[in-house]
Amino acid sequence: MKRPGAIFGLLNPVVLRITLRATLGRKRALVFMLIPLVLILLTVALRLTATSPAWPPEFLGDFGFSVVLPLTALIIGTSVLGAEIDDGSIIHLLATPVSRLSVVLSKFAAAAALTVVFGAIPEYLAAAIARGFTDKLSLGLLAGAMVASIGYNALFVLFSLLTTRAIAVGLLYLLVWEGLLGNFVGGVRVLSIGQYSVSVANSIARTSALNAHLTVQTALIMAALVTVVTLAVAARRLAAFTIKGDAV
């Protein structure tokens, strides 16, 4: 049996390094660097002005988990592979014997790590500004944000392999699937990365303001399942990566 650490053997340090440099060097990096700044600034403003004591879970749950984390993951997750497919530079990576699973996992790991830095950690810092570093809310939001960073990026990396309009498809998923249907159709919540994240956050923070509807067990098992399945599909898709020729 493989050691649990075997997954790290599938991460390719060269792919990781090039992906991090490329993603941080693109213009859209400004967007995912600005979003956490807005979150922190708004938190500070609320801390100074808010009168209701319930504002931290409401604001950080709503704005943090419905806007900051999914948008940060969307921008990063669709670009780690998508931007290289768009400009054709992916071919230099694929014209080597590196396994396609390793490419997908390394791209995903880079995206998840960047989303933790620019989404999950700012969310935790914002909660800490509101309630303190060791408060249950802060720790719960950090745990939930980690789940969001992993789940969303697996999905958005897959989207970038399925369509050239990954950002649009990702937005549709967030707005229509999670936002609209998730509120009205109970079954959708079982297939919603946003629900997995807030449910994990809620298991520690224990506040109804997060609108969590799943048990922590369901949330964790489903998040793991969705992540593994989407990454496996992404690797299969990359293995069948095609470039059209000049005749069409």
Least distance between another protein and beta carbon 6 (Å): 17
Contact map string, positions 1 to 20, toward another protein, x by CB under 8 A = -----------xxxx-xx--
Least distance between another protein and beta carbon 191 (Å): 30
Q: Using the rule CB under 8 A, is 22 a contact of another protein?
A: yes
Q: Using the rule CB under 8 A, is 30 a contact of another protein?
A: no
Q: Using the rule CB under 8 A, is 240 a contact of another protein?
A: yes
Q: Using the rule CB under 8 A, is 21 a contact of another protein?
A: yes
Q: CA 202 to CA 147: how far, in whole Å? A: 12
CB contact at 8 A, 142 and 123:
yes
Contact map string, positions 88 to 117, toward another protein, x by CB under 8 A = xx-xxxxxxxxxx-----------------
Residues in CB range of 248: below 8 A, 6 or more apart:
none
Q: CA 137 to CA 235: how far, in whole Å? A: 36
Interface region with another protein, contact rule CB under 8 A, candidates 58-66, 150-158, 190-198, 240-248 = 240-248
**Count of residues that interact with another protein, criterion CB under 8 A:** 32
Least distance between another protein and beta carbon 85 (Å): 10
Tell me how far CA of residue 102 lies from CA of 10, 62, 67, 235, in angstroms. Answer: 5, 35, 30, 8
Find tokens 């098992």 and name the residue: 221
CB closer to another protein, 24 vs 204: 24
DSSP state of 188: G
Q: Phi first, then psi: what are they for 247, rounded to 5°?
A: -85, -5
What's the token pair of residue 144? 């939930």
Q: Using the rule CB under 8 A, is 239 a contact of another protein?
A: yes
